Structure formats: C-alpha cells, structure tokens
Amino acid sequence: MEKISSSVEETLTFAKSFAEKIQRGDIIVLEGDLGAGKTHFVKGFASGIGSKSLVTSPTFTIMNIYEGGRIPVYHFDMYRLSSKEEAEELGFEEYFDASILDGVSIVEWPSQVEGLIKPPYYKIQIEKLSENARKIFIGRVEK
C-alpha cells in the first residue's frame, strides 16, 4: 500500500487509521532518512491505538512506552545503539518475540539491529519528496 502525504496532519491521520488493524504481538519497522517523518508516524499511530501519552523521540532512552490505549505501544529508536549485541544486553529481544509480546513494537532505524527483528512484520518506508510531501509505503515481510 502506498500513500502520498502532503502535510504532517495527513501523515498523522494515515498512521492513525493504520493502527486500527494492528493486533497484540504485531511488530512494525520504520525506514527512512533523518527527518523523513518516522516519529510523526508513531505519533499518529499511538493516538490510533488510543493512547493519550505524549509521543517523543526516544533517541537517548532508546525506548518509550505509551499506555492507556487498547494495547501498550513500545516505541524504539535504534539510531544511537552501537550494535545488535547492545540491544540484546538491554533485553530488547522480548519486544520482538510475538509469542510473548503483550502490545505492539514499532521501531525506528531497524537496520541498527539487523537480524534481531524476525519476520513476520510490517515494514513502513517513508521517503521525503519535498519540504511537506512524503511517500509512505506499507509492506508486509513474511517468514
């Protein structure tokens, strides 16, 4: 599925409606350059899950948890992680194991933890077309 968003508002609304089909145990990776709009997508997504928590970039903390919605949202930003091993040391593996995950995990910069997140998962790619326009592609990576 592909969508052209021409504003932040449109990205928020699109992410919000994507959240409707998400189930407990689902995993989502978000790809795109710096400033593509990954964190804004998560903002719309968390509101679609029903959380009223403030969504911020978890760059320094690596993970934020948003509760109060129909399931917990685990928001990762792997940008500052130095290795996949570091993610394992931090105990992140359990957030990528659908059989024990009690919410949904959504991950910025998944390439930093190559191999840690195993299919099936949703793969979202955001491409900057212009100052305010973005191409958002949603795919599914199967086992």
Ligand X SMILES: Nc1ncnc2c1ncn2[C@@H]1O[C@H](COP(=O)(O)OP(=O)(O)OP(=O)(O)O)[C@@H](O)[C@H]1O
CA gap 129, 80 in Å, rounded: 26
Cβ atoms of residues 125 and 134 within 8 Å? no
Q: Of 2, 20, 23, 34, which lies in the binding site for ligand X, with binding defined by CB under 6 A?
A: 34
CB of 105 vs ligand X, minimal distance in Å? 16
Q: Which does 11 bind (CB under 5 to 8 A by kind): ligand X, Mg ion, none?
A: ligand X
Q: Per-residue contact track with ligand X, 104 to 123, x per CB under 6 A?
A: ----x---------------
CA gap 108, 7 in Å, rounded: 20
CA gap 35, 138 in Å, rounded: 18
Element (H, E) at 133: none
Measured from the CB atom, the residue of 32 and 110 that comes closer to ligand X is 32
Q: Interface with Mg ion by CB under 5 A: which residues? A: 38-39, 57, 108
